[in-house]
Amino acid sequence: MKSRKQKLPDIQSSPPEQELPIEKVGIKNLRYPIRVLDRSKGYQHTVGEFNLYVDLPAHFKGTHMSRFIEVLNEFRDEVHVKNISQILKKLKKRLNARSAHLEVFFPYFIEKKAPVSGISSLMEYQAFMLASLLESEEDLILGVKVPVMTLCPCSKSISQYGAHNQRGIVTIAVRSRKFIWLEELIEIAEESASSPVYPLLKRPDEKFVTERAYENPKFVEDVVRDVSNRLLSREGIYWFQVEAENMESIHGHNAYACICYPFKNYSSSSESSISK
């Protein structure tokens, strides 16, 4: 006796109790192997943490969560800046949506040499891509978090025997009309701090890094201004946000600064300098 294929109800497509449109609905924190562009090696294999969303019209009760995974599976590990647009278009089509959004956060590794000994080891950075497609309008933000070292100019000026220093994180996010390597953003951040940090240092390297930072003191304000100045001179970048946060070594709080371009007019009483 042949078994009949049972037709299952599509609850997601039924009308909701309250007909309100939803701006973003989808899946979060999906870990998936990806391959990203690497300036020195061509590609680098890593693992991304994905958030995928579409909009949902008021007359649908829910979205089809499995379809997000199906679309990602079609691209397997070929997820990079150059095909983000294709993924978004697939999401829109597969889920009959007006807009689609993709966020992916991933560790990125660069082989880094110690400044004196020349010993090579791998340095980890946290990178991200935030992309969206609304109708035919595309948007892409590329970013990276870069650990750096800063030495306090105030401490240096008032102390007889040294100055306090600490590790900080510089976060750069950009929109660009031209392709930009993650390595470029990392270099800009490291060159704007008192010193880069390294995964492996021998004693001659430690001496070099310590003295280099002492001769190059930076507040978080100095860091974000220096990074911003370099980004302004880089052709193709039309929007950026730069943040610097120091895990202060002699204070119970962190120090923080942020610049966003295009610049806002903070002299107006209607403007607020507090990030929301």
Q: How many domains does the chain have?
A: 1
Specify the pLDDT at position 207: 97
94: tokens are 């597969």
Q: Is residue 162 part of a domain?
A: yes
Question: Is-contact 29 64, C-beta < 8 A?
Answer: no
- We report the CATH number of the domain holding residue 73 as 3.10.270.10
Q: Is residue 184 part of a domain?
A: yes
Positive/negative CA dihedral, 258, 263, 265, 271: negative
- 272 φ, ψ to 5°? -125, 135
The DSSP call for residue 251 is: S
Which among 201, 73, 92 is positioned nearest to 138, based on CA atoms? 92
Specify the pLDDT at position 63: 67
Does the pLDDT at position 171 exceed 80? yes
Q: Is residue 274 part of a domain?
A: no
Does the pLDDT at position 82 exceed 60? yes
Specify the pLDDT at position 232: 97
Does the pLDDT at position 272 exceed 50? no
**Largest Cα–Cα distance in the chain?**
94
Instruction: Express each pLDDT in 199-239 by its tens digit.
Output: 999 999 999 999 999 999 999 999 999 999 999 999 999 99
Q: How many Å apart are CA 16 and CA 20, to the nearest integer?
A: 8
Q: Is residue 12 part of a domain?
A: no
Q: Is residue 5 part of a domain?
A: no
Give the H or E element holding residue 125.
strand 120-134
Which among 206, 213, 204, 209 is positioned nearest to 117, based on CA atoms? 204
Burial of residue 101, with CB atoms counted within 10 A of its CB: 0-12 exposed, 13-18 middle, 19 or more buried: buried
Question: Is-contact 71 90, C-beta < 8 A?
Answer: yes
Q: How many Å apart are CA 53 and CA 65, to the nearest integer?
A: 9
pTM of the model: 0.87
Q: Is residue 160 part of a domain?
A: yes
Pairing of the two strands 137-151 and 165-176: antiparallel
Greater confidence (218 vs 12) lies with: 218
Specify the pLDDT at position 74: 87
Question: Is-contact 102 59, C-beta < 8 A?
Answer: no
Q: Is residue 110 part of a domain?
A: yes
E strands of 211-269, at which residues?
A: 237-246, 255-261
Specify the pLDDT at position 17: 58
For residues 93-109, average pLDDT: 93
Q: Which domain holds residue 248?
A: 22-261
Pairing of the two strands 99-113 and 255-261: unpaired
Confidence of residue 270 (pLDDT cuts 50, 70, 90): very low
Question: Is-contact 259 224, C-beta < 8 A?
Answer: yes
Specify the pLDDT at position 115: 96
Q: Is residue 196 part of a domain?
A: yes
- In this prediction, what percent of the chain has a pLDDT beyond 90? 67
DSSP-assigned beta bridge partners for residue 108: 125
Estimate to the nearest angstrom the gap between the alpha carbon of 121 and the chain centroid. 23
Instruction: Express each pLDDT in 150-162 by its tens digit.
Output: 999 999 999 999 8
Number of C-beta neighbours around residue 227 at 10 A: 26
Q: How many Å apart are CA 230 and CA 192, to the nearest integer?
A: 9
Does the pLDDT at position 246 exceed 90? yes
Does the pLDDT at position 274 exceed 60? no
Instruction: Express each pLDDT in 32-79 by its tens digit.
Output: 988 888 999 998 999 999 999 998 877 566 567 888 899 988 887 677
Greater confidence (4 vs 201) lies with: 201
Specify the pLDDT at position 250: 87
Round the average pLDDT of the chain to a whole number and report it: 88
Instruction: Express each pLDDT in 120-146 by its tens digit.
Output: 999 999 999 999 999 889 999 999 999
Question: Is-contact 35 80, C-beta < 8 A?
Answer: yes
